[in-house]
Structure 1
């Protein structure tokens, strides 16, 4: 089996159409079809269902995706291992929860130092980002911490700790009244939402309505309008609080303190580009006076 066959298979699976994949690869369609057929013969099983609308993965094809991602990632790591560590090049794919207010400073400092790196950023909730890192689709990610260890297959670096606050519009309201309002939250898998649910459960609040919204901007706009309340890091809404657009309400430290950590897959090769990125995080952490030791 050739690596090229796996690469073509991944491209076809991604596009869902052989002719589209052939165009992106700059191959003739018959060549791509022949490569896929040869791969299926080698594995002695079909990896795609063919139909009028295009193609879809078979169960065996979905299983092959997992192996192909790991194999191609290892090959990429091998190639990166021989690059100049002092002048890293190539791609670096980083993920982050949306509310890391310090992230632009970290990315800017890194980009200024290592201009040959093609840096990309993906946002999502913590559980989604953990899955992306574990499956080699992201080199690393900033997530909200869940205790001492996120996952046994991940290396975790503490970055900073934040205070979560309840936010509401500017109408006078107590924390007890907030509990009865709709809660505007990120999708399931968000660390802030998990903390909120823990607090409501321990407060024996069972009637609160959750409304899932995709972005912090949408949540803030909905809070402004009086649609509901939310639970977010104070640092991410400080500007809005200082200008009187919202109110922030504190709750006990047991539920309001949360760490932001950076994770990477411990089975993946630590490339020079990722190593320099972690160094940049550490430099920022010390500059800002954070005292969390790296684990």
Structure 2
């Protein structure tokens, strides 16, 4: 059994098709088929169910995928440890929720100091980003905290105030039963705060409308489609122009933290270590400048 066999097996398992795996790996289809058959013969058990729609894992195949994935992840970690140079280089895969107002300054500062590192930024919801970090798809991520997970190490980045955003200058809780609420999908930290607050107030919103882009949510509120809950920092420019109005909510629900996370057991490359130092420097500068957290 070779590492290449495990890579082929993992790809077929994920794609559910020999032909799709062959395209992904840039292999001849017959070669992929032969490798899978050879692996099954070596292990003396079928790893896939073959059917018209493609291939699905048998119970033994699912067990094999767990082992194969772990071995291949360990191999990636091994390469990172031995190929890591003193000068930060390579690719740093970073995830972020969409509303981290401090992100541009952190990225600009990092790029200025370590221009040899290629930053790859992926936007998403907190729940999805935490999963991507745990499963090694991301080196780290800016998410809504705190995160309570045994495999996660987290660092404070900033604290922000959540505000209710409406088109009308005045607002009362009864309007929740009239106005649609515009939110991100489940897994968003701001939505979780909102749901906790409404549950405490024993209020049921008229309708929940889900969006995937912050700008669409804010534009929709400005046009009178509904109301939303977001950090003050990302919407204050609209409030200045009186396109929307901001309303305070109870403090126990309004303060939200942004943290940077990575796996506790991951090897900290020079690129990631430098990124952590950049975040720490930003936090120090933020404190010294007297900015509100």
- C-alpha change, 1:286 and 1:228, in structure 2 (3 Å) is same
Root-mean-square deviation over aligned CA pairs: 2.3
- The 5-angstrom pairing of residues 144-223 of structure 1 reads 144-146=144-146, 149-169=147-167, 171-180=168-177, 181-223=179-221
Contact 2:176 2:204 in 1 (8 A): no
1:109 aligns with 2:109: yes
2:267 maps to which residue? 269
CA distance in 2, matches of 1:268, 1:46: 34
Write the mapping of 1:246-257 to structure 2, written as runs, cut at 5 A: 246-257=244-255
Q: 1:73 to 1:198 in 2, by over 3 A?
A: same
**d(CA) in 2 for partners of 1:7, 1:115:** 32
Counterpart of 2:94?
94
* TM-score for the superposition, normalised by structure 2: 0.88
- What does 1:59-70 correspond to in 2, within 5 Å? 59-70=59-70
Task: Give the 3 Å change call, closer, same or farther, for CA 115–248 of structure 1 in structure 2.
Answer: same
Aligned-partner Cα distance in 1 for 2:280–2:265: 22
* 1:142–1:260 CA contact under 8 A, matched in 2: yes
**C-alpha distance after superposition, 1:193-248 (max 9, x if no partner):** 11111111111213442221112122112212212100001111122222222111
Asked whether the equivalents of residues 97 and 142 of structure 1 are also in contact (C-alpha less than 8 Å), the reply is yes
TM-score (norm 1): 0.88
5+ residue gaps in structure 2? none
Find the aligned partners of 1:194 and 1:290 in 2 and give their Cα distance.
31
Give the distance between the partners of 1:62 and 1:128, measured in 2 at CA: 23
Question: What SS is found at the alignment partner of 1:95?
Answer: strand
User: Are the aligned partners of 2:154 and 2:259 in contact in 1 as well (CA < 8 Å)?
Assistant: yes
Structure-2 residue corresponding to 1:234: 232
Take 1:256 and 1:76, find their aligned partners in 2: how far apart are those partners? 41
Match of 2:138 in 1: 138
Instruction: Report what 1:281 is aligned to.
Output: 279
Q: Conserved in 2, the CA contact under 8 Å of 1:150 and 1:156?
A: no
Greater Cα shift, 149-158 or 53-62: 53-62
What is the rounded CA distance, in whole Å, between the counterparts of 2:94 and 2:48 in structure 1? 31
